Structure 1
């Protein structure tokens, strides 16, 4: 007879959510002990699920007096999630309205929907239950997490990105963060419909991509940098070869010829790491027409700029920054991390010659996302960047729901890169640059 580690409950005694999770966790442990693990690698997933379902019924049947009938089906269903999925979090992964799942500890889970955080009623049995789920997920992608290696970044099969921290680094329980990425390609039309961008902005950015103008998308966490980059990739001509470089693969490029590469952390002995800089250098030997760095974070900035300045125009990247000028200053620091003692004036000229346009996106009050600035870098003067705004978003306070509101403005500046569009055979209606009355 199997004995539960948690307190026994009768059919007449309802289980709290935590008690239910403990009951499920206990049954799951018994399932793992009962499974013939030697057969797992030799049978397909569907047959394995059937075996787990049948075994779970047998285990639950032994405890029928302690399991209410209405919980029987729920146990059978959620035990599948325990074995094959994310346990209590699995139902959230099928909810398209959820963009972030944030587990602060076993009994505190927050969700982000439509840009707003809310506390959920999801709980785990205990910290051991949460750690077990984390370890199983990261093991599937060849990563590990334990007291020796207490932090991990990994990617789920659907493209969602996870970060986990466990004790001794994590206080008051293990931490798990999941950034959701939809499997559907988000089109520019949808961004227009959402009010995240204006039609003149779209027309200009599409022409910039087709005309092979290198630009950088800046913004804070969750502002929509990757979303915008994915949407703009549709404008890249089909006869061009794209090489992507990412720490954790997030890009869902709308293009036929994409070669993706992902960095690799060091192993338990501290060896075998492959950095973004390694991949940028290697990409130059892969005959790329364009190089897309998912997010520039370090010394690879210098190699990326060298590529932009030596025949790989039209390359794109994203960067974390609070505004466009801050993004350029961060890029300067990253170039300095490459180990070359270059004067700041030289670095700035190099940046300005490689990157022609900077696009800044922001997540505003209430969770609304907007392209707040598109500016052209025309060079440097007296050691400073010369930026000219083409479009910007003017804030106008909050609406009745507490969401930021405002309007998109065209400054009237005609960017110099328009001449490059025309030379490349890219047509654009220059009337979109006329300032509004």
Structure 2
């Protein structure tokens, strides 16, 4: 509970109360907050339990300000009261930015060096903790004490989860952060972006979105790849909301990010042990057979869990995941390396063949924009197994965003992908050059063109 966190904060700072003088706005806010905590602990507890209005705490803070005659240059009394409340109940100086609807990340690189990500833009903001000691105190008392993680000299790099506010926070202190403590906040949107939202944000065009939606509803197996923060999970989540309501989905994540509203989604968490191995995915996949699961979604594959996941995909499960890669054509080889981490004695060639047979569509994202959509064609020879369907013609490539035009450059070639669309009556004439033979109950490929090079 937050009251326990406040008690720990008070104990942490009490012995320094008579030693320090105010050197920054942060210290003034912290001093007022500490006094408020000591005098109004019960009231704060009631507010956190929604048994008392926040206005009552604002009045208590204002009385302390008047009694002590605290003043901060260029900060109004009203703003100072809000900063103190944010410090007690939230994330202090960072709370106004976390409250911004479009803010997805905050990066603290030093006591006077803070950046935020809003939409596709990353910009520096006027946030100052005043000193390295103050920033370290903030990390320990506002983050660590609140979220109950371990952070000390022996474990100086730690990850914290705040599921209530949908935050993932990475913190580093000395001796790992040898120049300055650092913290990275990743914030997941309260209301997830819909596919239409992403079209309006120019992540993709409506035509490209419609193709991906049809592939998903046909039962295609997807990998969404790209660098960190490129929009992989955001797009996967939007497309998952578009699959049929009667389709039963099992999601498996280390950290809750999807928060699906799909009425048939079963959303579970898995854990990674000290060796980096995910335990639970094989059991969950097996249990899925008893739960009548149609579709398996793993938030992000980055280790040996790839073996269990793609065993299921190879067996016919509809499977979606994300992975880190700088190119659509490199992600399957990276997944193969992850499969090798399971200790399997299968050869690279066999593992790659499993992946070629298990993945239909690779979507590569860069800077919150779809850069390429590639079909995997297992029946092609090595070197010809990747078929580009959509690509982005770049016109402006900046550090934080890309502009360009999405162009459809290819047609579907793989028998599996074409049949999935045809069987679900989602195949369009312009999707492929293959002649289709369709009767009232089935759809299958009639004549597959010879895809040998000219």
| SS of structure 1 residue aligned to 2:329 | helix
Give the structure 2 partner of residue 11 of structure 1.
Answer: none
Give the structure 2 partner of residue 149 of structure 1.
Answer: 155
Give 1:46 deviation, angstroms: 4.8
Q: How does 1:18-167 map to 2 (within 5 A)?
A: 19-36=24-41, 40=45, 44-47=49-52, 49=54, 52-64=57-69, 71-135=76-140, 136-156=142-162, 157-167=164-174
Q: Which range moves more in the overlay, 284-293 or 384-393?
A: 384-393
Q: How does 1:306-385 map to 2 (within 5 A)?
A: 306-313=311-318, 315-363=319-367, 369-379=368-378
| SS of structure 2 residue aligned to 1:143 | coil
1:221-266 per-residue CA deviation (whole Å, 9 max, x = no partner) reads: 1211111101101222112221212222111324112222234466
| SS of structure 2 residue aligned to 1:332 | helix
Which of 404, 407, 422 matches 1:406? 404
Give 1:305 deviation, angstroms: 0.3
Give the structure 2 partner of residue 230 of structure 1.
Answer: 237
Q: Is the 8 A contact 1:277 1:299 kept in 2?
A: no
Q: 1:67 to 1:374 in 2, by over 3 A?
A: closer
Structure 2: 5+ residue stretches without partners: 1-15, 434-454
Q: 1:49 to 1:403 in 2, by over 3 A?
A: closer
Q: Is the 8 A contact 1:398 1:404 kept in 2?
A: yes
1:157-205 per-residue CA deviation (whole Å, 9 max, x = no partner) reads: 2323221111221122211111222212212222222332233322221
Which of 280, 283, 286 matches 1:281? 283
- How many angstroms apart in 2 are the aligned matches of 1:177 and 1:128? 18
- How many angstroms apart in 2 are the aligned matches of 1:162 and 1:56? 28
1:319-373 per-residue CA deviation (whole Å, 9 max, x = no partner) reads: 110111111111111000001122111011111111121111112xxxxx32121
Give the structure 2 partner of residue 366 of structure 1.
Answer: none
Q: Is the 8 A contact 2:24 2:129 kept in 1?
A: no
Q: 1:392 to 1:244 in 2, by over 3 A?
A: same
Q: 1:69 to 1:130 in 2, by over 3 A?
A: closer
Give the structure 2 partner of residue 430 of structure 1.
Answer: 429
- How many angstroms apart in 1 are the aligned matches of 2:47 and 2:203? 49
Give 1:148 deviation, angstroms: 3.1
- How many angstroms apart in 2 are the aligned matches of 1:132 and 1:21? 11
Q: 1:40 to 1:195 in 2, by over 3 A?
A: closer
Aligned residue pairs, count: 411
Matched, 1:421 2:421: yes
Give 1:153 deviation, angstroms: 1.9
Q: 1:353 to 1:246 in 2, by over 3 A?
A: same
Q: 1:39 to 1:376 in 2, by over 3 A?
A: closer
Which of 234, 246, 252 matches 1:239? 246
Give 1:404 deviation, angstroms: 4.1
Give the structure 1 partner of residue 387 of structure 2.
Answer: 388
- How many angstroms apart in 2 are the aligned matches of 1:31 and 1:402? 41
Q: Which range moves more in the overlay, 301-310 or 26-35?
A: 26-35
Give the structure 2 partner of residue 207 of structure 1.
Answer: 214
Give 1:285 deviation, angstroms: 0.5
Q: Is the 8 A contact 1:211 1:421 kept in 2?
A: yes
- How many angstroms apart in 2 are the aligned matches of 1:210 and 1:261? 22
| SS of structure 2 residue aligned to 1:331 | helix
Q: 1:103 to 1:433 in 2, by over 3 A?
A: farther
Give 1:93 deviation, angstroms: 0.9
Give the structure 2 partner of residue 12 of structure 1.
Answer: none
Matched, 1:195 2:202: yes
Matched, 1:259 2:266: yes
Give 1:212 deviation, angstroms: 1.2
Q: 1:201 to 1:66 in 2, by over 3 A?
A: closer
- How many angstroms apart in 2 are the aligned matches of 1:277 and 1:69? 53
Give the structure 1 partner of residue 179 of structure 2.
Answer: 172
| SS of structure 1 residue aligned to 2:364 | strand
Q: 1:246 to 1:133 in 2, by over 3 A?
A: farther
Q: 1:185 to 1:255 in 2, by over 3 A?
A: same
